[in-house]
Amino acid sequence: MADAPDPTLYDKVVNLCKVRGFVFPSAEIYGGFRSTYDYGPLGVLALRNVKQAWWRSMVQLRDDVVGLDAAILSPPDVWGASGHLTNFTDPMVDCRSCKERWRADQIGDTCPNCGSTDLTEPRAFHLMFKTHAGPIEDEGHVAYLRPETAQGMFTDFASVQRATRKRPPFGIAQIGKAFRNEITTHNFIFRTREFEVMELEYFVPPAEADQWFEHWLDARFQWHLEYGIKPDHLRTRFHDPDELSHYSARTADIEFLFPWGWGELEGVANRTDFDLKAHAAASGEALDYFDPSTNERYVPYVIEPALGATRSLMAFLLSAYDEDEVGGERRTVLRLDWRLAPYQVAVLPLSKKPELEATSREVLALVQPHFMCDYDTTQSIGRRYRRQDEVGTPFGITVDHDTMRDGTVTLRDRDTMTQVRVPEDRLVDELRARIG
């Protein structure tokens, strides 16, 4: 059983994100803008690392998956065929008392704002952002911002398959922005109107769909554990038939224990041949596969693991946040996996003395090509260690007067806080050995 979520954890992580430059409310000098967020100097590094970790396991380490970066703007035809124009809605209710709007399926029959039960009947609210492509704002120029990246993988299916000569089972992976006009946004970057998503569309012979669904559900579950989510904070929940998206025959959510309770982290769906058939019918283009070994032509089924990059970052930050005591003082430490930490290494001259500065810069130049490094000369060395712990930097390198004499530096470990002397010329190897 997982521990009950710490009620203060959420505020601590949100505050750390803001103060240390992970995530800022967007347009904050104008009072913020409707739950949009900017990823600051550390956030952009950590978010890149989350995306890189996903790309590595989904594309780099496989020979059956290729990448794609499709357009964000797309014509209504795409969303008509995919079913989103009709089905991509959430049920919305208004509170007649305080006039707030809510997602009906999230609030039961009581307004969370004022406690009134005087709510309107639920009605469908469409979640796609609509705009116009070109200088004329009429119906003929309507375009939509994509609410998922998946459709680009379906509309480009034949082009990718021809270009790469891949045969099912094979996949197309994509990372990119998606936009949903969510009725209610809440919980920091958990649910926002603009977010980044990492999706794989894995095309399989229909008879193999169940087996690949199990494969991906298991592989994706393991990925979260590998990068630092605690096993008792992760679980799988299968959707009831009435919960399934319009395209799905089977969906399982990988859920994370957020501070407010269990919530969806990633979805794995069997989208069947719904999308390819729908686009083939609407476009008139064949979106199928001819298998020369059996002389059969078929429309592949699609297994789709889909994970929000920004939501995943939030789960990693919540999992990594820790506090302990060092020398009678409280220490905040982000125990991020080194592959996700914004900086892997901090180079810290012991003091601001000019002779140390030159040697420190030489040490920085040694490690910088291999690791993302911070270089910090402000405040006392103890304070600087704390600052690095707080943003999850796994290793600190301190340069002192002995460095100038014997060419050794102090290597400090974030988690154990042990310090060892290491010769400069062995530093990169030593760091590599430590991170495996």
Closest contact distance (angstroms) between CB of 295 and ligand GAP is 33
What is the number of alpha carbons within 13 Å of residue 375 lying toward its C-beta? 15
Residue 275 vs 424, nearer CB to ligand GAP:
275
Residue 104 vs 397, nearer CB to ligand GAP:
104
Neighbours of 269 (CB within 10 A): 23
Residue 313 vs 320, nearer CB to ligand GAP:
313
Residue 191 vs 387, nearer CB to ligand GAP:
191
Closest contact distance (angstroms) between CB of 152 and ligand GAP is 11
Closest contact distance (angstroms) between CB of 193 and ligand GAP is 7
Closest contact distance (angstroms) between CB of 84 and ligand GAP is 10
Residue 266 vs 424, nearer CB to ligand GAP:
266
Residue 74 vs 192, nearer CB to ligand GAP:
192
Closest contact distance (angstroms) between CB of 77 and ligand GAP is 18
Contacts 24+ apart (CB under 8 A), 399-408: 399/347, 399/348, 399/349, 399/350, 399/356, 399/359, 399/360, 399/363, 400/349, 400/350, 400/356, 401/350, 401/356, 403/356, 403/359, 403/363, 404/355, 404/356, 404/359
Q: Which residues bind ligand GAP (CB under 6 A)?
A: 148, 150, 180, 182, 191-192, 195, 197, 199, 264-267, 304, 306-308, 310-311
Nearest residue relative to ligand GAP (C-beta): 308
Do residues 251 and 239 lie in contact, with contact meaning Cβ atoms separated by under 8 Å? yes
Residue 266 vs 376, nearer CB to ligand GAP:
266
Q: Give the amino acid at 169.
A: P
Closest contact distance (angstroms) between CB of 274 and ligand GAP is 12
Closest contact distance (angstroms) between CB of 175 and ligand GAP is 11
Closest contact distance (angstroms) between CB of 174 and ligand GAP is 10
d(CA 22, CA 147): 25
d(CA 116, CA 213): 43
Residue 149 vs 410, nearer CB to ligand GAP:
149
Closest contact distance (angstroms) between CB of 266 and ligand GAP is 5
Closest contact distance (angstroms) between CB of 61 and ligand GAP is 22
Residue 260 vs 290, nearer CB to ligand GAP:
260
Residue 141 vs 186, nearer CB to ligand GAP:
186
